[in-house]
Amino acid sequence: RACPKDQQAGGGADEKLGEITHHTLRVQGDPRLMAFPNSTAYLVLTSEQQLFRTDSEGAQWTEVDLAASTRDSKIGKPVYLAEHPYDTHRAFAYTDRDALAFTGDRGATWTRVRALPARANGLHVRPLLDFSAADPDHLLFVGGTECPGCHTEVWVSRDNGAQWRQLATHATKCLFARTREFTALPADAVVCTGLARTRGEQDEARADDRVVVRVYTQPFRDSSHHEIAPDAGCRVGEFHMHAQLMLFATTCTGELGGDETLQVHVTDDGRTLHAARLPPGARVAPDAFTLLPAQAGGVLLDADGGHGWGQLFASSSNGSHLHRVLTHTNRGALGAVDVERVDGLPGMLLANRVDNADALGAGVHKRLRTAASWDGGRSWHALPPPATESCADCALHLFGRATGGAPPGAGAAPGVLIGVGTVGTHLGRYPQARTYMSRDGGVTWAQVRAAPALHALADHGALALLAADATPTSTLAYSAD
């Protein structure tokens, strides 16, 4: 990827080549970092309503004063930051005084969007702002009336917020339906989930409330739409755009009643909705699944088994069927799953399985074993230990997301993997772990540190960085070969 030509590389012109420099930004509250792709500019918004900007990869930071930049003393402090996925120069900041500010130069200057038609919704419907892949000036804003007794209002603009048109009310989520990969609907189409009724308050649930899916094909002209419905007996919840699919989480009851089960309904044309069929006998508890990215347009779904482990399913390319690819996947308390798609290596997955799932109970701890797949989950294999640590019935086991680990690969460095783990019959404790590297996509591994290390890959894999993780450190180790 070419280096940006319109900005100076990080560090500043007065620093000598090869000199190591240290820079610290001290903030109030929890920070959230937003990067502008292919540039050296970043924004940081804190929970204490501070906004900072750097155009030198963090070497120098300046606090952004929205009042001064917009020349509007009443604009307020930023509380919500939205990046524009289809224009790498743009971002928006919503303030505590119900104002919206816009930047078109990576945060260097800001302008107030004067015609904002409503305040942000008070029902926590997110995203607050959405953006169109067809035209970067096309915006969608989910505002609302004042609570209590409130409801959401969905507005669209085709001129970057200069003028707005109300599209819908009582929505629970709205997105532009056209992405770079999902192209089945018209360029300006919008999809919303929302209450079937469009009158009355939305913050007080009614027993007969029903959520429907509406697709607006010409939202800048009128509010005409068509509805797409799941199978009978199913209630629509959350939805996501993923590759060439639109996925809906639905809670379903059988024809004869009984327990509710969670299903995934899918559409690849925006007009018909069908259930992704699970294998016979497979049931998923409501609100207990995790969607994971996959290659070739499909999805990976890890369903919670209710005992700290799950089952991993992979879908067909059109999402119509799910087939089980791995059992007893390790899950954390908050839904994190030890299943990782390795960036840069299509088809490669790493997963931690609970080897003693049937014996778990009081006083029994999980025994985790790492498995790898190079064919999208069709077959799984143990990771071979380094030649210097081989032993009987031994394998390399790595820490994953649910066990405090980090992603092992980087898309810009295909084939180069770094992970923290242990060699043995199962995964050991983190303080006794070591750091390992593979240069051939996980086929062979070598120890690079005799302790756990934070790690990163840069410069398309030519540069590897390590820093001690289990103990305090002031040293950063690097390798350029």
Burial 435-471 (b: 16+ CB within 10 A, else e): bbbbeebbeebeebbebbbebebeeebeebebebbee
Q: What is the pLDDT, as a whole number, of residue 287?
A: 65
Q: What is the pLDDT, as a whole number, of residue 256?
A: 66
- The order of strands in the sheet holding 31-35 is 31-35, 42-46, 51-54, 62-63
Exposed/middle/buried for residue 335 (C-beta within 10 Å: 0-12, 13-18, 19+): middle
Burial 308-322 (b: 16+ CB within 10 A, else e): bbbbbbbbbebbebb
User: Pairing mode, if any, of strands 299-304 and 309-315?
Assistant: antiparallel
Q: What is the pLDDT, as a whole number, of residue 461?
A: 78
Q: What is the pLDDT, as a whole number, of residue 17?
A: 59
* CA dihedral of 113, 119, 125, 129, whole degrees rounded to 10: -10
How far is Cα 356 from Cα 251, in angstroms, rounded to an integer?
30
Q: What is the pLDDT, as a whole number, of residue 457?
A: 87
- pLDDT per position in the chain (481 positions), as tens? 444 555 444 444 455 556 778 888 999 999 999 999 989 999 999 999 999 999 998 999 999 999 999 999 999 999 999 999 999 999 999 999 999 999 999 999 999 999 999 999 999 999 999 999 999 999 999 999 999 999 999 999 999 999 999 999 999 999 999 998 899 999 999 999 999 999 999 999 898 899 999 999 999 999 999 999 999 899 999 999 988 899 999 988 876 667 788 888 999 999 999 998 888 877 777 667 888 766 666 788 888 877 889 999 988 888 888 899 999 999 987 778 999 888 888 889 999 999 998 888 777 889 999 999 999 888 999 999 999 998 888 999 999 988 888 878 776 788 899 999 999 999 999 999 999 999 999 999 999 999 999 999 887 778 899 999 988 888 899 998 8
How far is Cα 144 from Cα 116, in angstroms, rounded to an integer?
12
Rg, C-alpha atoms of the chain:
25
Helix, strand, coil % in the chain, rounded to nearest 5 = 5, 40, 55
Provide the 3-class DSSP secondary structure of residue 226. strand
Q: Residue type for 162, please? A: A
Q: What is the pLDDT, as a whole number, of residue 7?
A: 45
Residue 474 structure tokens: 């002031």
Exposed/middle/buried for residue 87 (C-beta within 10 Å: 0-12, 13-18, 19+): middle
DSSP type of residue 381 = E
Residue 376 structure tokens: 């999208």
DSSP of 71-101, one letter per residue?
T-TTS--EEEEEE-TT-TT-EEEEETTS-EE
Q: What is the pLDDT, as a whole number, of residue 10?
A: 43
Q: What is the pLDDT, as a whole number, of residue 11?
A: 43
Q: What is the pLDDT, as a whole number, of residue 132?
A: 96
Residue 54 structure tokens: 């750097």
- Kindly list the distances between the CA atom of residue 371 and the CA atoms of 301, 407, 444, in Å, as whole numbers in the listed order: 17, 15, 14
Q: Residue type for 422, please? A: T
How far is Cα 163 from Cα 155, in angstroms, rounded to an integer?
10
Please state, as a whole number, how many other Cβ atoms lie within 10 Å of the Cβ of residue 408: 26
What long-range pairs does 71-78 form, CB within 8 A, spacing at least 24? Answer: 72/99, 72/112, 74/99, 75/99, 75/101, 75/112, 77/49, 78/45, 78/49, 78/51
Q: What is the pLDDT, as a whole number, of residue 1?
A: 44
